[in-house]
Structure 1
Amino acid sequence: MAATFKIPMSKMVLTLFLIAVAAVAGVVTWSFRSGLTWTGICLIAVAGPLAVFYWYMLYITPKRAAITVAEEGILLAAPPFASAVIPWASVVKTFPVNLVLDDDFAITKAVKHMSFAGYKSGVVKIKDNREAVIVTNRRDVLCIQTEDRYYLLGPSDLSGFIKEVEKAGP
């Protein structure tokens, strides 16, 4: 039976984002004393599209990120930055990693990557120019090592994820 684990953005980040958008809209409204028409035009032309873009990047993209542990392997879906199918036959080993304390897994270069307020998703280079796929909203992750690359996965329910990997894995 498959189990799915989510990796959402922190609710505090989303709340602060909404407060910042409201503050910018308030400042624009206050600073344009030339009338409601020009204020509305500025809010619609500038603040609106930027708010929609950032809302998509901070809420919609992380909300779609999921890790599914099944009998056949792991399905990682974190579009547009990371997605992979990891069959159990390709897994060399699994072990816990702390991204802050373990120097071997420090990110040295971003290939295709998003990192914001603790949320990380994408393909990166780590020490010794090794490639890693990272999807996490936390510092401690489970590293799934294959012959090709490392997968640094840290869903919100990390302990449940580790139990499922131990139960279904190699």
Structure 2
Amino acid sequence: MARIYKIPMSKVVLTIFLLFVAAIAAAVAWSFNSGLLWTGICLVAVAGPLAIFYWYMLYITPKRAAITVADEGILLAAPPFASAVIPWASVVKVFPANLKTDDDFKIGKTKKFMEFIGYRSGVAELKNKQEAVIVANRIDVLCIQTEERFYLLGPSDMEGFTKDVETIAKQL
């Protein structure tokens, strides 16, 4: 019985991003009075590649992020910033946490990390000097503590994820 939980970026953020790119392209086109050819070259050479890069980072990367809860453990896949296999035998404790209000889970140094308007993915050192893998699109997360590190996970369906993890963790 494996269940997959997705962690996408908010559609509002993506819509605002597309509107921002369109506004920048319109401003560039308007500001160039040197003709359509140079305006087009500028848009293709500068705005196009930047828009593609940011679209990839804000849409494709979070869309691939997923947490699979299975009888053997938890598989975390959030490339390129975080991935892990957490066997149930290594889980010490499971409890809810809040990334904004819990001082123990404030982010200190980051190693491979992306944070953008509520979406977090990567490996970070917490203020208490412990390592944490964070993949969440919300501030309320489920903390899965192992001997090595904390896993702070917050998928879109937090209620279903919490229920599945607690059900399997109680059986152990």
Cα deviations by residue, 1:118-160 (Å, 9 ceiling, x for unpaired)? 0000000002210000000001000000000000000001010
TM-score, with length taken from structure 2: 0.97
Aligned counterparts, 1:29-68, within 5 A: 29-68=29-68
Cα distance in 2 for partners of 1:122, 1:10 equals 18
Counterpart secondary structure, 2:33: coil
Counterpart secondary structure, 2:128: helix
Point out the more displaced range, 160-169 or 88-97: 160-169
Counterpart secondary structure, 1:148: coil
Say if 2:166 is the partner of 1:136.
no
Q: In structure 2, what residue type is equivalent to 1:63?
A: K
Cα deviations by residue, 1:103-128 (Å, 9 ceiling, x for unpaired)? 00000111110000000000000022
Q: In structure 2, what residue type is equivalent to 1:83?
A: S
TM-score, with length taken from structure 1: 0.99
Shift of 1:168: 2.2
Counterpart secondary structure, 1:156: coil
Q: In structure 2, what residue type is equivalent to 1:47?
A: A
Is this contact kept in 2: 1:97–1:140, CA < 8 A? yes
Cα distance in 1 for partners of 2:123, 2:43 equals 35
Cα distance in 2 for partners of 1:88, 1:114 equals 27
Is this contact kept in 2: 1:123–1:133, CA < 8 A? yes
Unpaired segments of 5 or more residues in structure 1? none
Say if 2:94 is the partner of 1:94.
yes
Say if 2:70 is the partner of 1:70.
yes
Q: In structure 1, what residue type is equivalent to 2:134?
A: I
Q: Which residue pairs with 1:10 in the alignment?
A: 10
Cα deviations by residue, 1:12-53 (Å, 9 ceiling, x for unpaired)? 110000000000110011111111100000000000000000
Is this contact kept in 2: 1:69–1:168, CA < 8 A? no
Q: In structure 2, what residue type is equivalent to 1:65?
A: A
Shift of 1:167: 2.0
Q: CA RMSD in A?
A: 0.6
How many pairs are equivalent? Answer: 170
Q: Which residue pairs with 1:105 in the alignment?
A: 105
Cα distance in 2 for partners of 1:111, 1:53 equals 21
Q: Which residue pairs with 2:163 in the alignment?
A: 163
Identity of aligned residues (%): 73
Is this contact kept in 2: 1:112–1:122, CA < 8 A? yes
Q: In structure 1, what residue type is equivalent to 2:48?
A: G
